[in-house]
Amino acid sequence: MADATLDLARALIARRSVTPDDAGCQDILIPRLEKLGFSIERHRHGEVENLWARRGRATPVVCFAGHTDVVPPGPLDQWLSDPFVPVLRDGKLYGRGAADMKSSIAAFVTATERFVSEHPGHPGSIALLITSDEEGVAADGTVKVVEALKARGEALDCCIIGEPTCERELGDTVKNGRRGSLSGTLVVGGVQGHVAYPHLARNPIHLAAPALAELAGMVWDRGNDYFPPTTWQASNIHGGTGATNVIPGEVEIRFNFRFSTASSEQSLRTRVHQVLDRHGLDYRIKWLLSGEPYFTAPGKLVQAMQDAIREECGVSAGLSTSGGTSDGRFIAGICPQVVEFGPLNTSIHKLNEHVEVSHLERLSEIYRRALVKLLVKP
């Protein structure tokens, strides 16, 4: 099993699947899944390849979800080896996507192969939802497959997403939720003029600054037992013509909320407008909701994952909702229980991304044990 997972991970890493290009990764997976009796559906939207595979028609439905696309490798001369030529070195497998998340996808498949060989007539169904649009804009990936499944009344009972969640050792962290992401592009208007004659102009940077200071200092909520408090961060500010002697006519500020279930999109938008109105600004805002927060309370799926990790690794996995967004925000719309679990995240999106070779077999075995607990011995 270790060699099988390693070999599949290497085959996937060798595909230059920079988002949104799948680069043939799903073509590697499909024959193996068909051999196990999975029905295969390809969902292509724009440049994005999506795969929906399901074995069985009964409930409960346990789904593995992940992405074959990876972020760009960055400066190639700063990698110790070609990021798309998988290399074994010092007990580690190097390559772009090794940790995020081609090793998890390989482990999904080998875990399923072993599980099916042991339980060919298992109850319920096993599914895989694989996209090539997670690291990019995520507009034509998992969200589109979820929409298609929802339209035909097909729901999931449990979903395990293979995101790299562990921080210090394999098994230490399971994510059972993620914060929502709400962005805004704020444009504050003024009157352009010469800096030597400020009385003939209105500087929008000066006008906006007190409001920005108030927004930066606000307590939006205090979080709850599972989420940290909501945060607001300004990420970009642009104003002016480039000349030092011109007061700009407007300034653009981009900002982002990472928000917990203690707040809602509407409550945050309302409070921002209240601040800006109170400061008497001439402004407009374009809002973008990238995802609502989602949360899975401790229950059947969380327990199955924690037990599988404890049995395989001897580790008591903690629960976390930290980090950025994931495709869990889409899947939660058709699945009441969603968790994320995968390898260490210490090298993701970095130069010389890697995963411990010894973790591959254990990761596959954790997924296999979870299937047993969810389908065979619920």
Catalytic pick among 22, 49, 134, 292? 134
Q: If we measure between CA atoms, which residue out of 369, 357, 368 comes closest to residue 5?
A: 357
For this structure, is 69 an active site residue? yes
Q: Which residues contact 142 (CB under 8 A, 6 or more apart)?
A: 50, 65, 67, 129, 131, 133, 134, 327, 330, 331
Catalytic pick among 21, 49, 69, 361? 69
Q: Which residues contact 62 (CB under 8 A, 6 or more apart)?
A: 124, 125, 126, 127, 156, 157, 158, 159, 160, 370, 371, 374, 375
DSSP per residue, 31-50 = HHHHHTT-EEEEEEETTEEE
Rounded Cα gap, residues 217 and 52, in angstroms: 45
Q: If we measure between CA atoms, which residue out of 291, 296, 340 comes closest to residue 143?
A: 291
DSSP structural state of residue 15 = S
Phi, psi for residue 207 in degrees, rounded to 5: -65, -40
- Residue 288 forms beta bridges with which residues? 183
The answer to whether 216 and 309 are in contact (CB under 8 A) is: no
The answer to whether 220 and 201 are in contact (CB under 8 A) is: no
Q: How far is CA 245 from CA 27, 192, 208, 242, in A?
A: 59, 11, 19, 9
For this structure, is 225 an active site residue? no
Active-site positions? 69, 134
